[in-house]
Chain A
Amino acid sequence: MQNIIKNLTLSKKEIFLWFLGFSVLTLSFLPLITNFTWGNHDWLSLKTDGHLKAGFIEGRISQYLFLYLFLDSHILPILNTGLGFLIYSLTIVLFTTRFFEFDINNKKIYFIIPLIASLPYTNEITFFQFIILSQLIWTFTIFMSLMFAKKATKKHHIIYTILSTFFLFLSIGGYPASSNLFIISLILYLSQIYSSTKNITITLKKSIPFIVSLFISFTTLYFTYKYLQNTGQMIKLYNNETISLQELILNLPKSFMLSITSLITPQPFFSLIYKTLSSFIIFSFIFYYLKQSSSLKDFLIRLLFFFAIILGIKFSALLTKETPQTFFATSDPVFFMIRTDFYSLPILILFSLCFLTKNTKTYIKNIISVVITILIFSNINSNLYYSKINILAFRSEINLTERISDRIKKSPNYNPNTLYTLIQATDLSFRPRFYHKPIPTYQAFYTLHSPFTRYWIPNDYYNFYAIQPFVSQQVSINPKDINDEMINYFTNQIETWPSSNSVYLDNKYAIITLSPKGKNMLTEQFKSIKSIKQ
């Protein structure tokens, strides 16, 4: 019992580091926290709360668990993000001091922790309010899983392995890509073991509880998906489909190259300078790790670790099918998804920095100190810039939604007792309009391009501020309802917003044409619906 209490108690230095990390992280996103913006999946959850089973439909069985436990399923301003940040910043400290057991008497740790806490990978996590808390807490549950697996190598092998499996299953049951953190931490831990023992057999033995935990949790998840699909609670979606083992192996070289490319390719809020400095840290660590080899065999083993690290940071991308181009999916290539990088790159950068500040010559340590300082400042700038863009774009989109709503209700045909089928032909996303830099190739959909409203769920946001709901859940035209008025509109009158002919209203349908792309989409869809009727 005393041991358990001792293990759970934080030292003064750990508490201070936690406070430091939390402060810098909160400062970076303070405008977002206090202005309470939300993402395009959040509208319904904000009004009706997130219930425990809400994630089942896409196989995210534990997604709402912590929202239920800590916040009674409410999405609350400040608390939602604040609590998540508190736990995430603690986790960073615990990874440093308890899992990797780096020396925190090194003064540079007081800069490393704030740097890791403020890395811009968190910005995409803050887009959706309904999952901020869980996405951040998975880092802690993964940590717990890793710690139990680590303890399982010493004693109580079975019980600790079961506990490790439980925590890992909890995490991947909420967000499968959180397994990236487990994988990369395992690889780095084993590289640490190998570095100190120089014995691959011992290293592999240490990995057994981790591998068992991984295997059992993923197998359990697989069967859970099967059960949920058979009982009709889960549908087959792009984000729970995996590739075959054969495809995985064949894709390894391409995956390796894509992983390297993603480390050096600028993305929105990840400037070329940031990518250069962060990849400098990672590759310097790998270089010095390889440099430590004492023989060819040692070098080859360390080289394997290098490949494992590069592939491990994109573990979820290795397994996932490429995202299809559908109206509800993101358009980010799987190797360039920032919210999956959130689970691998911060921990890799943390490990790299702690390694470099211990195992290199003074001049390298000095260079690293300069890099750390630049990056902390750059992170805070980048996150605040992200916050600013989100706040301004959110206001713009809410204003637009209000104007559209107003136009519908001021129409002479409007009947306040009708629940209209509202068809909004595409979205207008405002965040890119406030992003005053060249937008790099890989778009980072949720970080920059996704609007705060999505046209396929109009009832959620149009009814949000309405005194009484006026939009139904239907989003398509029934061919039986096509009448002459509608035909005339689509054939002769349809225009794009803000023209007076951009809004059509009859006794059942409200159709809004927001953009030229939307106009083309509507007219084409109408032609095919009309042909069905005919």
Chain B
Amino acid sequence: MKSLLKKLSLLPDSNIQKALLISFIIANFCFLYHTLNFMWGNHDVKFIKEELLLSSGLFEGRFTQFILYRLLTNGQILPVLNNLIGFSFLIIAMYVLSKYWNIPQTKLNLIIFTTFFITQPYTLSWLYFTFITISCMAWAFFAILGLYLSSLIKNHPHKLLLSIISIICFYLPLGGYPPIINTFFVCLSAKMTLDVIFYQKNIKDLFATYKYTIINILISAILFKLTLYFVPSDEVYNLETTPIQDLPNKFFSTLKISFNQFFVSVPFMEKGYKITLAIMSFISIFGAIITSTDTKKRLLSIVLICATIWFTSLTTFLVVPPTEYVSRIDFYGYGFLYAFFLSLLLSLKPKIFESIGILFGLILIYLNILNNYHALYVWQEGFKHETKILENIYTRIELHPNFNPEKKYRIFQVGDISLRPMYYNKNIDKDDVFLLSIPYLAMWQSKNLLQFYSPFNFTSDIENLFISDITDSVQDYVNNRARIWPEKDSIYIDDNIILIVLTQNELNKLKIKVNNLLNKT
């Protein structure tokens, strides 16, 4: 193993090992509250209790998503270890990235670079759903490893072997979470920028070196698409790609989104924080421009920087559903973009820029820790409060005269209650569902939620409301008697179904649905 790492110039010396260990400790400290409290998100309920299978992601085309879980934790979501393994992958990813981008390998540089990236609040989005924490953090590692190995192909004797390994490194994350494609191109474009700025490369040189990377990414993308033909996936929103005729318009809209991101505040990344990041970014761009002596190279570097910025919205460009300002996608794009700007500062020749980079790095790491602890406090209070409501709902069900724990009921939760926003009072430009607004008590998880702490197996796996369910009693309840939780008539139970009414909006929709079903008869 050591000799292999040495051949690939990836063998860390003792200083680097210490730097990585310090970064790992800081990263774990930053998210310690999450690690120790074992919080989970609204997709996780069944998986926390049971296990993750290799096939668990197939329905949405995520055919590699749970390979690592099966290998490392036997399909279990385990407290503490889930986060530790995820952060380990990120630490190694950032080390390889520091090599890929040729950041000066001093202990301080590496600590700041690595810690800054991992502690960004974008990482929170991968802690929210514990069932994909390990995979989605590991995909960053595979992506960067693929890029690094591809960059070695030009001068390497084993071109085919390196290509195959790189393609696997790109293919695995695509099969797990396709927006990783943002990382491929942000990091690649950043690398090219750095080559132009520091190594005076021209377009021809860049093409000669990085054509292999692009080819490998293309091959892995084709393999990914081919695999989707054979994977038995459902008709899900996140597999729909943009029609070709819409691409030109989308290019400009995504360009605008990419540059807007510098100033748009989102939960736990408020205005002040974003502006600090923006200032760091612009100083590094400024530094890159003024240190460049050749006008052509200067122009080329500006174009590449703009391309790097645009690539943060590559997923938004390629798919139909709106994915802009979504933190877990921005993790793969914007997270690396900011890391690139920091690395640029740390690498620029005038010492002043390195000092500015270190200063910004330290300030931003401090702000990251602050923001993350704020987020985790908000999450924990929301989680506790929503869990309390769930307990109260369950108690009321148990007390209901019609409830029989021997039966199997179909559960219909009418509306969600999301309480994390109650504990967050900052002004933001855009919401983020994973960082703040989606509920723990999601409608479509009601049967798993109610079953979680119950001593009885009283929920059915069938999720449909049938015409035969719309008895006179149900009709009367829905149209006349139903009230919103926690009022007295917010729960209805008969022999087949349990209705839990949480919001007026959804109750109105239910009324329409029930009446439509009746009209069909």
Closest to A30 in B: B80
Establish whether residues A31 and B80, one from each chain, have CB atoms under 8 Å apart when the complex forms: yes
- A463 to B391 Cα, complex, angstroms: 21
Establish whether residues A434 and B49, one from each chain, have CB atoms under 8 Å apart when the complex forms: yes
Closest to B76 in A: A385
- A377 to B455 Cα, complex, angstroms: 32
- A447 to B446 Cα, complex, angstroms: 30
Tell me the minimal C-beta distance from B515 to chain A in angstroms. Answer: 33
B51 interface residue (CB < 8 Å to A) = yes
Residues 70-85 of B, flagged 1 when their CB comes within 8 A of A and 0 if not, give 0011101111110010
Establish whether residues A387 and B453, one from each chain, have CB atoms under 8 Å apart when the complex forms: no
- A31 to B39 Cα, complex, angstroms: 12
Establish whether residues B38 and A388, one from each chain, have CB atoms under 8 Å apart when the complex forms: yes
Neighbour of B80 across the interface among A384, A392, A407, CB < 8 A: A384
Tell me the minimal C-beta distance from B190 to chain A in angstroms. Answer: 35
Establish whether residues B401 and A428, one from each chain, have CB atoms under 8 Å apart when the complex forms: no
* Across-interface contacts of A403 in B (CB, < 8 A): 395, 398
Establish whether residues B78 and A381, one from each chain, have CB atoms under 8 Å apart when the complex forms: yes
A284 interface residue (CB < 8 Å to B) = no
* Across-interface contacts of B81 in A (CB, < 8 A): 380-381, 384
Within 8 A of A (CB), among B42-80: 48-51, 72-74, 76-80
Residues 90-114 of B, flagged 1 when their CB comes within 8 A of A and 0 if not, give 0000000000000000000000000
**Interface of chain B, helix or strand or loop or mixed?**
loop
B290 interface residue (CB < 8 Å to A) = no
B403 interface residue (CB < 8 Å to A) = yes
Neighbour of A436 across the interface among B49, B405, B454, CB < 8 A: B49
Closest to A380 in B: B81
Tell me the minimal C-beta distance from A213 to chain B in angstroms. Answer: 41
* Across-interface contacts of B398 in A (CB, < 8 A): 403, 498
Establish whether residues B453 and A406, one from each chain, have CB atoms under 8 Å apart when the complex forms: no
Tell me the minimal C-beta distance from A172 to chain B in angstroms. Answer: 35
B244 interface residue (CB < 8 Å to A) = no
A34 interface residue (CB < 8 Å to B) = yes
Neighbour of B391 across the interface among A30, A399, A430, CB < 8 A: A399
Interface size class of A (residues with CB under 8 A): 20 to 34
Question: Considering residues B48, B454, B455, which has the most beta carbons from chain A within 10 angstroms of its beta carbon?
Answer: B455
B399 interface residue (CB < 8 Å to A) = yes
A98 interface residue (CB < 8 Å to B) = no
* Across-interface contacts of B405 in A (CB, < 8 A): 498
- A271 to B73 Cα, complex, angstroms: 13
Establish whether residues B36 and A385, one from each chain, have CB atoms under 8 Å apart when the complex forms: no
Establish whether residues B36 and A34, one from each chain, have CB atoms under 8 Å apart when the complex forms: yes
Given known contacts A430-B455, A436-B51, A500-B401, A381 and B76 CB-to-CB distance under 8 angstroms? yes
Tell me the minimal C-beta distance from B75 to chain A in angstroms. Answer: 9
- A377 to B88 Cα, complex, angstroms: 15
* Across-interface contacts of B50 in A (CB, < 8 A): 436
Closest to A393 in B: B453
Neighbour of A31 across the interface among B36, B49, B391, B453, CB < 8 A: B36
Tell me the minimal C-beta distance from B283 to chain A in angstroms. Answer: 41
A391 interface residue (CB < 8 Å to B) = yes
Establish whether residues A27 and B76, one from each chain, have CB atoms under 8 Å apart when the complex forms: no
- A430 to B401 Cα, complex, angstroms: 25
Tell me the minimal C-beta distance from A431 to chain B in angstroms. Answer: 12
A517 interface residue (CB < 8 Å to B) = no
Residues 427-438 of A, flagged 1 when their CB comes within 8 A of B and 0 if not, give 010100110100
A400 interface residue (CB < 8 Å to B) = yes
* Across-interface contacts of B48 in A (CB, < 8 A): 388, 392
Within 8 A of A (CB), among B388-409: 391, 395, 398-399, 401, 403, 405
Tell me the minimal C-beta distance from A410 to chain B in angstroms. Answer: 9
- A392 to B39 Cα, complex, angstroms: 12
* Across-interface contacts of B72 in A (CB, < 8 A): 377
Residues 374-391 of A, flagged 1 when their CB comes within 8 A of B and 0 if not, give 000100110011011001
Establish whether residues A27 and B80, one from each chain, have CB atoms under 8 Å apart when the complex forms: yes
- A406 to B38 Cα, complex, angstroms: 28
Question: Considering residues A381, A384, A406, which has the most beta carbons from chain B within 10 angstroms of its beta carbon?
Answer: A384
* Across-interface contacts of A35 in B (CB, < 8 A): 38
A533 interface residue (CB < 8 Å to B) = no
Tell me the minimal C-beta distance from B459 to chain A in angstroms. Answer: 13
Establish whether residues A31 and B455, one from each chain, have CB atoms under 8 Å apart when the complex forms: no
Neighbour of B455 across the interface among A384, A385, A433, CB < 8 A: A433
Neighbour of B79 across the interface among A388, A399, A430, A498, CB < 8 A: A388
Closest to A406 in B: B395
Within 8 A of B (CB), among A27-84: 27, 30-31, 34-35
- A406 to B395 Cα, complex, angstroms: 10
* Across-interface contacts of A500 in B (CB, < 8 A): 399, 401
Closest to A388 in B: B79
Establish whether residues A498 and B78, one from each chain, have CB atoms under 8 Å apart when the complex forms: no
A396 interface residue (CB < 8 Å to B) = yes
Establish whether residues A391 and B395, one from each chain, have CB atoms under 8 Å apart when the complex forms: no
- A380 to B80 Cα, complex, angstroms: 10
Given known contacts A31-B36, A381-B81, A498-B403, A396 and B453 CB-to-CB distance under 8 angstroms? yes
A395 interface residue (CB < 8 Å to B) = yes
Residues 173-191 of A, flagged 1 when their CB comes within 8 A of B and 0 if not, give 0000000000000000000
Establish whether residues A498 and B399, one from each chain, have CB atoms under 8 Å apart when the complex forms: yes
Residues 438-460 of B, flagged 1 when their CB comes within 8 A of A and 0 if not, give 00000000000000011100000
* Across-interface contacts of B36 in A (CB, < 8 A): 30-31, 34
Residues 471-508 of A, flagged 1 when their CB comes within 8 A of B and 0 if not, give 00000000000000000000000000110100000000
Establish whether residues A395 and B74, one from each chain, have CB atoms under 8 Å apart when the complex forms: no
* Across-interface contacts of B77 in A (CB, < 8 A): 388
- A381 to B48 Cα, complex, angstroms: 14
Establish whether residues B49 and A387, one from each chain, have CB atoms under 8 Å apart when the complex forms: no
Residues 109-141 of B, flagged 1 when their CB comes within 8 A of A and 0 if not, give 000000000000000000000000000000000
Residues 340-369 of B, flagged 1 when their CB comes within 8 A of A and 0 if not, give 000000000000000000000000000000
- A35 to B84 Cα, complex, angstroms: 18
Closest to B84 in A: A27
- A436 to B38 Cα, complex, angstroms: 18
Establish whether residues A395 and B453, one from each chain, have CB atoms under 8 Å apart when the complex forms: yes
Establish whether residues B79 and A428, one from each chain, have CB atoms under 8 Å apart when the complex forms: no
- A329 to B503 Cα, complex, angstroms: 50
- A403 to B454 Cα, complex, angstroms: 12
Given known contacts A34-B36, A434-B49, A498-B399, A387 and B455 CB-to-CB distance under 8 angstroms? no
- A385 to B395 Cα, complex, angstroms: 28
* Across-interface contacts of B51 in A (CB, < 8 A): 436
Establish whether residues B453 and A399, one from each chain, have CB atoms under 8 Å apart when the complex forms: yes
Tell me the minimal C-beta distance from A448 to chain B in angstroms. Answer: 15
* Across-interface contacts of B453 in A (CB, < 8 A): 392, 395-396, 399, 430
Establish whether residues B74 and A384, one from each chain, have CB atoms under 8 Å apart when the complex forms: no
Residues 390-433 of A, flagged 1 when their CB comes within 8 A of B and 0 if not, give 01100110011001001100000000000000000000101001
Tell me the minimal C-beta distance from A407 to chain B in angstroms. Answer: 8
- A436 to B76 Cα, complex, angstroms: 9
Closest to B401 in A: A500
Establish whether residues A381 and B74, one from each chain, have CB atoms under 8 Å apart when the complex forms: yes
Given known contacts A30-B36, A391-B38, A396-B455, A385 and B78 CB-to-CB distance under 8 angstroms? yes
* Across-interface contacts of A396 in B (CB, < 8 A): 453-455
- A392 to B81 Cα, complex, angstroms: 16
Residues 405-434 of B, flagged 1 when their CB comes within 8 A of A and 0 if not, give 100000000000000000000000000000
> Footprint of A on B, CB under 8 Å?
36, 38, 48-51, 72-74, 76-81, 84, 391, 395, 398-399, 401, 403, 405, 453-455
Which 8 A-B pairs rank lowest in CB-CB distance, beginning with the nearest? A498-B398, A31-B79, A384-B78, A396-B453, A428-B455, A34-B36, A436-B50, A30-B80
Task: Report 26 cross-chain contacts, Cβ distance below 8 Å, ordered by A residue.
Answer: A30-B79, A31-B79, A31-B80, A380-B81, A381-B76, A381-B81, A384-B78, A384-B80, A385-B76, A385-B78, A388-B78, A391-B79, A392-B48, A392-B49, A392-B453, A396-B454, A399-B391, A430-B453, A430-B455, A433-B455, A434-B49, A436-B51, A497-B455, A498-B398, A498-B399, A500-B399
Other A-B pairs, 6, CB within 8 Å; known A387-B79, A388-B79 = A27-B80, A30-B80, A31-B80, A34-B36, A403-B395, A436-B51
